[in-house]
Structure 1
Amino acid sequence: MGGLTAREALGGPWATHWAVWVSLYPPTTLLVILRENITPFAEWWWPLLSATLQHLAVGIIIALGAAIARRRHAILPLTVVAAIWGTAAVSRAVIGGFVANAVTGVDPEYAFRIATWVTASALWVPIFVYTLAQLDQRRLLLGALDAAHRDLERARHASIESADEVQRNLRESVRHTVEPVLEDLRVSLSNTGTNLTRPQLEQLTAQLGRLHDDVAAVVDSAGVDPRASQQAHQRASLRRAFDVRPERPVLTALLVTVATIALIAPDAWRVFGAPAALEVTIAAVVSGVFLGIGPAVAVHIGHSVSVFPGQAVTVVSLVLALGAMTQIMLASEIDPITWHGLLIAPLMAVSLILTSTVFALATALYRLNEDAGAELAQTRTTIEALDRERAETRRRERRKLAILLHGPIQGRLAACVMALNFHTAALADGSSAGPTSAVIDAVALHLDDVSLGLVSLATMSDADGLRTPEQG
C-alpha cells in the first residue's frame, strides 16, 4: 500500500465518482452563465436551467459509462475514461447550443462549444480525479498507520515482559481456568456421596477424563494476546489529509495560471471582446504570482505552511491573489466596462481557489503516500518480529508449564480416571470391585491434592517454577 499510479488513480473508482460530478457543478454553472450572457434569453433563469440540464446529462453519461465499462475492467483503461468524459463534454456543448437555439433562435455555435468544453474537461477532470484519488488513499494510509502504531506500542509493551513474568501469568491463567471446573466436580462428588449408580460413575469418569485432556489445551491457549484487527481501518480526517506541505509552489502557481486562462479567457473574448480576455489573462498572471510567492518564501525559510485552506500562509496568499484579481478586473480599465469584470470575477475566484488547492495537492500526495506506505510496511515488519519473539517466549514457557503440570495435576487426574474405569469395569462383569466408597474417597483425595497443586503452582517461586519433575 502506497501512492497510486496515474492509471490506478485515473481509472479507479474516483474516475466516475459522484463526488467529482457534484463538485464540478458550481464552476461549470458559473461558466455557462458567462457564456450565455450574450444569448438573448427572455428570462434570467434560462442559463441556470441550461447549466443544470447539461450537468444532469453529464451525470447520466458518467454513471452509464462506468456501469458498462466496469463489467470488464476493475481499473478502467485511460482511453475508456477519456471516452466517457469526452462524450460528457460533447453532450454538454450540444445541449447548451440546442437550448440557446431553440429558445432564442441564435446560432448554436456547436464547434466553439465543443472545443471549449473538451479543452476544459481535459484541463480539469484528470487533475481533479487524480487528486481526489490520492487524497482518499492518503486518508486510508494515515488510518492504517495509526492502527499500526497502536499495534507496535502493544507489541513493544508485551516484549518488555520477562520470561519469569510470562511463566507467572501462564500459571495464574491456568489456575483461574481449571480451578472452577475442578471445584464443580468436587462439589458434585461431595453431594452424591457413595450412592453412585454405574451410569453416574461412567459420567464422572468422562468428566474427569475431559478435565485431564483440557488441562493441556488450557496450557496451549493460556495468556494468548488478542491480535489486533488488520481490517477496516478507519480513515483519517479530511483536515489531517489536507495538512500537506506544498512542493514546487512556483510550478503549482504556473499551472493554476494556465488553467484559469484556458478556462475563462476564450469565453471572455467571445462575450466581451479582446480587452476582457486580456484583462482576464493579466489578472490570472498577477494572481498566480501571489499564489506562488507566499508558499515559496515560507518553504524556503522553513516556516510552517500547508495546503489546507485554513492555514495562515495559504490564507494570506489566497487573500492577496483574490484581492489583486478583483482590483484588476474591476478597476484596471483594460476593459473599460466594469460590469464585465464584475460578472467574470466570481468564476475566476472559484477557479483560483480550486486549482491552487488541487494542483498543490497533486504535486505532493504521490510522494507522501509512497513515504507513508514505506513507513507502514516497516512498522508492520517490526510488529511481526516482536510478535515472533513474544510467541517464542510463550511457546518455551508453555512447554515448561506443561512439564510442571504433568505430574501433580495431570498425573493425579489420570489416576482418578484409571481407578474409576477399573471399578466400573469390575461392576459390569460382576467381579469383586471393592466398596465404591473407598474409590470415591480416593478420587476425592486426589482432587483435593490437585486443587492444592494448582494453588502451589501459582504461588511457587520462579526458581521452583523452572525446576521440572525430572530435576526433582
Structure 2
Amino acid sequence: MAIPNLRAALGGAWSTHWAIWLGILPASVLFAVYREQALEPEHAGLSVISGVLQHLAMGLIVVGGGALLRRRRSILPIAAVAALWGSACVAGALVAFAFSARFYGSASSPIADTIIGLALIATWIPVAIFAIAQLDQRRLLLAARDITTDALIEERAEGRVTAQQLQSRLLATVTAQLTPVLADLENSLNAARGAITGDTATELGARISRVHDETAELVERDGPPLHSGVRPERAQRVTFRRAFALSTAPPARIAGLVTLAALAAVVPDTYRVFGPVAAAQGAIAITSSGVLLAALPAAFARWAARGKGMTHLRATIVLQVFAVIAAVIILDVLPPSIWAGAQWQVLPMTLMALALAHTMYSIAFVVADANATDEKELRNASAELDTLRERRAERSRHARERMAQLIHGPIQGRLAACVMALNFHAEIVATDPPRAEVMLDSVIEHLKGVTAELRKLGTYPEQISPHER
C-alpha cells in the first residue's frame, strides 16, 4: 500500500471532492460576512446569503469540473486542479460583485476579491486536501496493518508447531475420512456374505479402488499448508483514538506556514473593514503567535527526552492555547484598544484562523510522517509473513511426503490387495463358491487391517524420524 505523495494527493479524488467543498462552507460564509461589513449591508443575513451563493458558485466549478475531468483520468495534473480552484475563486468574486451591486450600498471589487481569494486558496486548500488524503490513507493503512498482524501472529504460532504435530494432524484428517468409508465397505461385505455375485464383487472392488486412489491423493496432493488448529489472540481493532495515538508533537517547521495562512485569512479583510491600524495589530498578533508555535516544540522535545512526552493531540492543544493567549494579549495591549467599537471582531477571526491553520498543518505533517513509518513497518511485516508462509508450506510438503511413505505399504498395500481379491472373487464366485468365500474373508480381514494400521500410526508417532520434528 503506497503512501500518496504530494502530487497524488493534490491531484487525487479529494482535491475536487464534494466533502472538501462542504467542509469549508462554514468558514467561507463566515469570512464573507466579515469581509462584506465594509460594503454596509442592511443586515448580516444578506451577507450570509451572499457567502452561500459565492460558495455554491465555487462548488459548481470545482466539484462539477472535477467530475468531468475525472472521466478520463483518476489523478488530475496539479495545474488542472489549480485552474479549477482559481476559476472558482473568480466565480465567487463575480457573484459577490453582482450581489453587492444589487443589494448593498456599494459594490465589491472583483479584482481585490479575486486576489485575496487566490491567496486564501494557495495557503489553505492544498494543505486541507493533503491532510484529508493522509487521514483517509491512515484509516486504510491501519486496517491493512491489522490484517497483516493477525496473519503474522497466526503464522508465528504455526511456526512453533513441530513436524510431529503436523504429521499427527494430517493423520487425523486421513483417519477421519477413511474410517467411515472402511466401516461401510466392511458392513456391505458382511451383509452380502453368501449371496454376493460377480457384479457385486466387481462394484465393491471399484469402491475400494477409489478409496485407494483418494487416500493417495489426500496425502500427496499439493493443497494448502497444514494448520495446527492454533487460534492466537487477534490484533487490536482500528479506532479513532488509536489512529491518533501519535507521540509526535507538531513540528516547528509548520509555524511559518501557519503564520502565512492566518495572515492571508485575516489581514487583507481587516484592512478593508477596519483600516490599516487594525490590520497591523492583527498581523503583529499572528506573527507573535507564530514565533511561539516555532519555539515551543523544542521544549516538548526536551520533556520527551526526560520521559514526559505527550500525545500529538495534547501537544496540539497546548500549542494552540499558548498561541491564542499570545494573540489576545497583543491585541489587548496595542493601542488603540481592540475592544473599541466593532473592532473586537478582529479577535475571534484571528483566533479562529490560527487554530484552524495550526490544526490542518499539524495533521498534514504529523500524520504523513506517521503513515510513512507505518508503511515501512507494514512492508517489513508483509515480508516476514511471506517468509513464514513459505517455511510452513515447505514443512507441510515434507509432512505429506513422510505420511505417503508411512501409509504406502501397510495401508495402500492392503487396499490394493482387497481390489485384486474382489476382482478374482468375481471370476470364481460361480465356479468355486467355497474358495470365493475364503477370498471374501480375506478382503474383510484386510479392511480391518487398514483400520488397525491407521490406529497404530496414531498410537506410535515415533515412526517419524527425529530430524523432521
Shorter-chain TM-score above 0.5 = yes
CA distance in 2, matches of 1:52, 1:425: 97
CA distance in 2, matches of 1:124, 1:226: 55
Contact 1:173 1:222 in 2 (8 A): no
SS at match of 1:279: helix
Contact 1:171 1:458 in 2 (8 A): yes
Deviations 1:276-305 (A, max 9, x none): 111211221222233333332111332413
SS at match of 2:72: coil
Query: Quick check: 1:305 aligned with 2:304?
Result: no
- The amino acid of 2:270's aligned partner reads A
CA RMSD of aligned residues (A): 3.0
Q: Report the CA distance between 1:104 and its aligned residue.
A: 2.4
Q: Report the CA distance between 1:143 and its aligned residue.
A: 2.5
CA distance in 1, matches of 2:419, 2:183: 17
Corresponding residue for residue 230 of structure 1: none
Corresponding residue for residue 317 of structure 2: 315
Corresponding residue for residue 464 of structure 2: 465
Corresponding residue for residue 287 of structure 1: 289
Corresponding residue for residue 63 of structure 1: 63
Corresponding residue for residue 42 of structure 1: 42
Q: Report the CA distance between 1:453 and its aligned residue.
A: 1.1
Corresponding residue for residue 73 of structure 1: 73
Query: Quick check: 1:268 aligned with 2:270?
Result: yes
Q: Report the CA distance between 1:77 and its aligned residue.
A: 0.9
Corresponding residue for residue 177 of structure 1: 177
CA distance in 1, matches of 2:80, 2:50: 27
Q: Could you say if the C-alpha distance between residues 107 and 223 of structure 1 is closer, same or farther in structure 2, counting changes exceeding 3 Å?
A: closer
CA distance in 1, matches of 2:196, 2:373: 72
Q: Report the CA distance between 1:2 and its aligned residue.
A: 4.1
Q: Could you say if the C-alpha distance between residues 329 and 198 of structure 1 is closer, same or farther in structure 2, counting changes exceeding 3 Å?
A: farther
Q: Report the CA distance between 1:356 and its aligned residue.
A: 1.0
CA distance in 1, matches of 2:197, 2:93: 94
Stretch moving more, 33-42 or 246-255: 246-255
Percent identity over the alignment is: 34
Corresponding residue for residue 400 of structure 2: 398
The two structures have a TM-score, normalised by structure 1, of 0.87
Q: Could you say if the C-alpha distance between residues 183 and 57 of structure 1 is closer, same or farther in structure 2, counting changes exceeding 3 Å?
A: farther
Corresponding residue for residue 410 of structure 1: 412
Corresponding residue for residue 124 of structure 1: 124
Q: How does 1:151-300 map to 2 (within 5 A)?
A: 151-196=151-196, 200-219=200-219, 220=221, 221=223, 224-225=226-227, 236-246=238-248, 249-300=251-302
CA distance in 1, matches of 2:293, 2:445: 88
Q: Structure 1, unaligned stretches of length 5 or more?
A: 228-232, 468-472
Contact 1:174 1:222 in 2 (8 A): no
Contact 1:182 1:451 in 2 (8 A): yes
Contact 1:34 1:344 in 2 (8 A): no
- The amino acid of 1:115's aligned partner reads I
Q: How does 1:353-432 map to 2 (within 5 A)?
A: 353-424=355-426
Corresponding residue for residue 100 of structure 1: 100
Q: How does 1:76-91 map to 2 (within 5 A)?
A: 76-91=76-91
Corresponding residue for residue 134 of structure 1: 134
- The amino acid of 1:376's aligned partner reads L
CA distance in 2, matches of 1:152, 1:346: 51
Q: Could you say if the C-alpha distance between residues 315 and 333 of structure 1 is closer, same or farther in structure 2, counting changes exceeding 3 Å?
A: same
- The amino acid of 1:315's aligned partner reads I
Deviations 1:18-70 (A, max 9, x none): 33222212221211110112333334312112222222333332222222211
Corresponding residue for residue 114 of structure 1: 114
CA distance in 2, matches of 1:454, 1:200: 27
SS at match of 1:224: coil
Deviations 1:194-214 (A, max 9, x none): 444666545433332222122
Aligned residues: 457
Q: Report the CA distance between 1:440 and its aligned residue.
A: 3.8
Deviations 1:332-360 (A, max 9, x none): 44455535343233333332222112212
Q: Report the CA distance between 1:223 and its aligned residue.
A: 6.5
SS at match of 1:45: helix
CA distance in 2, matches of 1:410, 1:364: 64
CA distance in 2, matches of 1:46, 1:69: 34
- The amino acid of 2:310's aligned partner reads V
Contact 2:14 2:133 in 1 (8 A): yes
CA distance in 1, matches of 2:224, 2:321: 63
Stretch moving more, 386-395 or 267-276: 386-395
- The amino acid of 2:173's aligned partner reads S
CA distance in 1, matches of 2:69, 2:180: 62
Deviations 1:430-466 (A, max 9, x none): 876877644443332221111111111111131x234
SS at match of 2:44: coil
Contact 1:243 1:307 in 2 (8 A): yes
Q: Could you say if the C-alpha distance between residues 331 and 74 of structure 1 is closer, same or farther in structure 2, counting changes exceeding 3 Å?
A: same
